Amino acid sequence: MASNASELDPSASEVVLHAAEQMQAQPSIEVVDPATGQSVTSVPATTAEETDVAISRARTAFDTWRKVSPADRARLLRRFAAEVDAHIEELARLEVRNAGHTIGNARWEAGNVRDVLDYYAGAPERLTGRQIPVPGGVDVTFHEPLGVVGVIVPWNFPMPIAGWGFAPALAAGNTVVLKPAELTPLTAIRLGELARDAGLPEDVLTVLPGRGAVVGERFVSHPEVRKLCFTGSTEVGKRIMAGCAAQVKRVTLELGGKSANIVFADADLERAAASAPYAAFDNAGQDCCARTRLLVQRPVLDRFLALLEPAVRGIRVADPTLESTEMGPLISAGQRTRVASYVTEAETAFTGSCPAGDGFWFPPTVLLARSPADRHWREEIFGPVISVLPFDDEAEAVALANDTEYGLSGSIWTRDVGRALRMARAVDSGNLSVNSHSSVRYWTPFGGMKQSGLGRELGPDALHAFTDVKNVFIATDE
Ligand code: NAD
């Protein structure tokens, strides 16, 4: 509860107190530090009625916000980015406490929100339609904002995923209601306050901490929410898509993943092995882009595992507030139980270590798959677990990589440029990297194929997903 506010840094206490003020008699959601298992604070759980009021206010604010000149909208988004920049350390420390992210990662995540705001601040003044040559008149297109956009965020990357939704939505002239995950509401609440401090008009960005079944479902069913950006599990994503169909509500879905890391015998094995742990264990493996299916060409399997083992054993899993820490805890006790269930039924090749104390710790683990039918090979575990399977040739690598309902990301390691391109075209995935594990760059489109999602976030194209094209014909014939 808020009674331990003094343990938090002063600015984090402000969030806690602000939340406490709003709480009154409402039910609340407890926030736990995953590194200690201890309660940090609690935040109000927004009710369905309060959600309706917030949506209706956001709808009213839309009438004003859409008319703010593009230059002024850009200026406000830049000011919001500057506010985030001035609070990077505070936001990062809040995230370490709430989500167990390492301090280094959390700083990057806060910086990513700033960068994405800056990037889309360049958009309002460049969001132009077309003039199309037609007989009998003049034809022009406009990119019209949609209205109120609902953004639903998961717990694994609370800050960046919030920013990928609200920055382009606001730039295009929409207002936003945002629901953080139950487990990780603190940085979203703080970002909402920073938006206000930056001068964004009231109700243009509203953060509503609360439950998926209450606030999230209301975003889906409320007719004034014109688009939903959902990031989370495939299971909930399907439900949301079905709900949105009733009103032909626009929807962007960023869902689960089970990505392949494909290592050919001709690759730079040292480099591939050194980076493989970060491809799968970053954020303790709670990463939709994690390359958790490691496919290694058979002749180099033993050598690759021999290179991988010390890299995995060397990962520093510790208190996430320490600068030297490379991996923190899992988000919750429930998540740890779930991850352990996959490991106990499989053959372990080797593991790293992790603290023994309170907190939701799990060691980095490498499993050997017996066949592609193994549960740990097929299902998204969302923990620090890699499954390994050998392959013989390109055709088999493609078949194994594509033998999944997911298609979010993946890596291809080879020195043969032709093979790299053949593989990149053949693997059904929205985001692939060659000789790298990079997944997300805010200048480029991000999203999944198959059941990993629908639509793309980031990059220039994402902006258009927050508008409808309107075509206007003006007759000039007398
Ligand atoms: P989740 O689906 O349980 O919850 C995600 C969000 O949806 C939360 O805010 C939750 O409160 C809300 N929600 C739950 N039920 C709802 C409902 N009925 N209606 C509306 N909203 C509802 O997912 P999670 O456990 O928070 O996150 C982990 C999942 O997210 C993983 O599967 C991961 O792969 C996925 N993810 C995908 C991406 C991507 O970009 N593709 C990025 C991050 C996470």
- Summarised one tens digit per residue, pLDDT across range 161-183 is 999 999 999 999 999 999 999 99
pLDDT in the model for residue 389:
98
Return the H-helix or E-strand segment holding 28: strand 28-33
Domains and CATH numbers, the chain: 10-255+453-470 (3.40.605.10), 260-442 (3.40.309.10)
CB 431 within 8 A of CB 407: no
pLDDT of 13 above 50: no
Q: How close is the Cα of 235 to the center of ligand 1, in Å?
A: 9
User: Coil, strand, or helix at residue 1?
Assistant: coil
**For 388-419, what is each residue's pLDDT tens digit?**
999 999 999 999 999 999 999 999 999 999 99
**The pLDDT of residue 3 is above 70:** no
Q: Does any ligand 1 atom lie closer than 6 A to the CB of residue 239?
A: yes
Arithmetic mean of pLDDT, 148-172? 98
Cβ(121)–Cβ(77) below 8 Å: yes
- Whole-number average pLDDT of the chain: 94
* Closest residue to atom 40 of ligand 1, CA basis: 254
Active site residue: 182, 254, 380, 457, which one? 254
Q: Which residue CA neighbors atom 23 of ligand 1 most closely?
A: 232
Ligand 1 pocket member 255 (CB < 6 A): yes
Average pLDDT over residues 279-299: 98
Q: What number is the average pLDDT over the span 219-243? A: 98
DSSP letter string over 420-448? HHHHHHHS--S--EESS-----TTS-B--
Nearest C-alpha neighbor of 229 from the set 170, 311, 143: 170
Residue 8 has pLDDT above 50, yes or no: no
**Encoding tokens for residue 18?**
């602000």
Q: What is the pLDDT of residue 4?
A: 32
Q: What is the pLDDT of residues 360-391, one digit of tens each?
A: 999 999 999 999 999 999 999 999 999 999 99
Averaged pLDDT, 13-28? 52
Distance in Å, CA 236 to ligand 1 centroid: 7
- Whole-number Å distance between alpha carbons of 286 and 405: 19
The answer, yes or no, to whether residue 121 has pLDDT greater than 90, is yes
pLDDT given for residue 478 in this prediction:
83
Hey, which of 208, 228, 288, 339 would you mutate to test ligand 1's pocket, going by the most ligand atoms within 8 Å of its Cβ? 288
Helix 158-171 to helix 103-121 angle, to the nearest 10 degrees? 10
Q: What percent of the chain has pLDDT over 70?
A: 95
* pLDDT over 90, % of the chain: 93
Atom 42 in ligand 1: residue holding the nearest Cα? 288
Ligand 1 center to residue 152 CA distance, Å? 8
- Ligand 1 center–CA 243 separation, angstroms: 15
Full-model pTM: 0.94
Where would I find the H helices in 122-216?
Answer: 158-171, 186-197
Structural tokens at position 233:
């599990």
Does 254 qualify as catalytic in the annotation?
yes
